[in-house]
Amino acid sequence: MSLLRLELLNPALKGKSVPFKSGLTIGSGTESTVRAQHPDMRPIHARLVEEDGKPMIEIAGDDSHIKVNGRDVVRAELRHLDEVQVGPLRLRVVDTSRASQVTRLDALMADYESKQAEEIHDFAREDLFYLVTKDQALRQAVSFVIPSRDRFIEQAQVFVNRLAKGAGLDEDRLDAFMTCAKELILNAHRHGHKYDGDKKITVRWRDLGQQVKLIIQDEGPGFDHRAVIGGANEKNAADAARERYLAGGFGGLGFQLITKLADELKYNDPGNEVTITINKKAAPG
Nearest CA to 53 out of 20, 8, 85 is that of 20
Whether residues 130 and 240 fall in one domain? yes
Confidence check: pLDDT of 123 > 60: yes
pLDDT digits (tens, 9 = 90+) for 60-100: 988 899 999 989 999 999 999 899 999 889 999 998 877 55
- 106 and 88 co-located in one domain: no
Domain assignment present for residue 284? The answer is no
What is the CA angle 193-196-202, rounded to 5?
Answer: 55
- Residue pLDDT, tens place only, 129-139: 998 888 877 88
Q: What is the pTM of this model?
A: 0.56
Q: Answer whether residue 43 is part of any domain.
A: yes
Instruction: Average the pLDDT over 95-124 and give the result.
Output: 61
pLDDT at 234: 53
Domain holding 144, by residue range, is: 100-279
229 or 128: which leads in pLDDT: 128
Whether residue 40 is predicted with pLDDT greater than 90 in this model: the reply is no
* Distance, CA of 277 to chain centre: 4
One domain, residues 121 and 155: yes
Q: What is the CATH number of the domain that holds 39?
A: 2.60.200.20
Among 97, 127, 146, where does a domain finish?
97
Domain count for the chain: 2
On whether both 168 and 192 belong to a single domain, the answer is yes
* Each residue's pLDDT tens digit, 168-188: 999 999 999 999 999 999 999
| Statement to judge: residues 105 and 84 lie in one domain | no
Q: 83 and 165, same structural domain? A: no
* Percentage of the residues of the chain whose pLDDT score is greater than 90: 54
CA distance 177 to 124: 23
pLDDT of residue 239: 52
Contact predicate 275/215, CB 8 Å: yes
Q: Are residues 23 and 42 in the same domain?
A: yes
Distance separating alpha carbons of residues 197 and 1, to the nearest angstrom: 57
Mean pLDDT to the nearest integer, 27-52: 91
Q: What is the pLDDT of residue 230?
A: 63
* 26 and 59 belong to one structural domain: yes
The answer on pLDDT for 110 being more than 80 is no
Question: Are 74 and 30 members of one domain?
Answer: yes
Give the end of a domain, one of 70, 97, 124.
97
Choose one of 97, 117, 142: the last residue of a domain: 97
Q: Give me the CATH number covering residue 260.
A: 3.30.565.10
